[in-house]
Amino acid sequence: MTNEPQPSEQKPTLFQAIGILPGKVRLDSEINRAFVQVQGKEYPLKYAPHNKGMRAWDALKLELGENGSKELRLTVYPQALHFPGRDKTHILGFSLVGFAPINGEDNSSDKDVFTAQDFEFKLCGLWQFIPVCRTPCISVFRNFNEEIKARIKPLDSARKVRFMKAQHLPLIWKDALVPPFRFNPKLQKEEQGKRYFVEIKARFIPGRDMFGFESLNGIPTEEIPPHFKPGKALKAEVLELKKQQKRAKAEEASNVDQAKSSPPTVTDKPKPTIKKKIVT
């Protein structure tokens, strides 16, 4: 492993996380989900949310057949799901970009994938700690685009926040060239440490669900590419909406429980009407 930047034809200027994952892929057509088994551990496999990802997903289903399985070499985007609490383990998954038989030619139309070896990934993002993970991460945000900005403008707040969600990929990087940023709530903004955008080659470590640093693809920089990031007001709005929905569900459940536990009420029988005989 080396901290010296490796030569490349074109310097990446965007957030990115993509690589090669070999494994046994199986399809469960009943739930329309796929999984990839790597060194005895199974990971969820989804389709990437763009046309190329959808085409690759359709091709994968044809390749595997109904409920089939096969050893394949996948081109994937890594995804990490973190949970509140630093002691809770994150869950790693992958989105399909393309695939090929083992030792075969990749059918991916995404030619931005570097010539990678198995388990090798290109990671470009912010090198930092996040509150819910003990291991520092490469945080990969969605790259800013005016066309995409216009497209998501009419979406509701919750969908906007989901769209802007970053992927925080845990990375083991001993003797890092720059320190990972760590937010200190006791310091003012101008007193905080520096945030660095890094471009690296890393290797996926299946046994630990993390990535390990291999080499630099560029010099770390404080110049961060434009990206989507939900503001505090937007996140607060979504959080308040979730709280309201949670309270509404709790009240509904409470009303149902009360209705089940309350004894049936006895209604008064209607009094019979007495017809008076009219004497003429």
CB neighbour burial string for 54-90, b if at least 16 within 10 angstroms, e if fewer: ebbbeebbebbeeeebeebbbbbbbbbebeeeeeeeb
- For residue 109, what are its two tokens? 């139309």
Q: Which of 42-56, 116-130, 213-227, 237-251 has the lowest average pLDDT?
A: 237-251
Q: Is the dihedral of CA 156, 169, 38, 50 positive or negative?
A: positive
Local confidence band at 261 (pLDDT 50, 70, 90 cut-offs): confident
Q: What is the pLDDT of residue 280?
A: 47
How far apart (Å, rounded) are the C-alpha atoms in residues 173 and 129? 12
Q: Which of 35-49, 50-64, 68-82 has the lowest average pLDDT?
A: 50-64
- For residue 135, what are its two tokens? 């291991």
More confident residue, 76 or 113: 76
Which residues have CB under 8 Å from 13's CB, separation 6+? 225
For the chain, give every domain's residue range: 16-239
- Which residue from 180, 204, 200, 197 is spatially nearest to 93, judged by alpha carbons? 204
- For residue 221, what are its two tokens? 């920089």
List C-alpha distances in Å: 96 to 37, 70, 161, 267: 14, 15, 23, 63
Q: Which of 54-68, 96-110, 151-165, 237-251 has the lowest average pLDDT?
A: 96-110
How far apart (Å, rounded) are the C-alpha atoms in residues 5 and 221? 13
In angstroms and rounded to an integer, the radius of gyration of the C-alpha atoms of the chain is 27
Specify the pTM: 0.80
Tell me the pLDDT tens digit for each residue of 130-173: 999 999 999 999 999 999 999 999 989 888 888 899 999 999 99
Maximum Cα–Cα distance across the chain: 120
DSSP string covering 187-232, please?
S-GGGS---EEEEEEEEEETTTTEEEEEEESS--BS-PPPB----H
How far apart (Å, rounded) are the C-alpha atoms in residues 266 and 90? 55
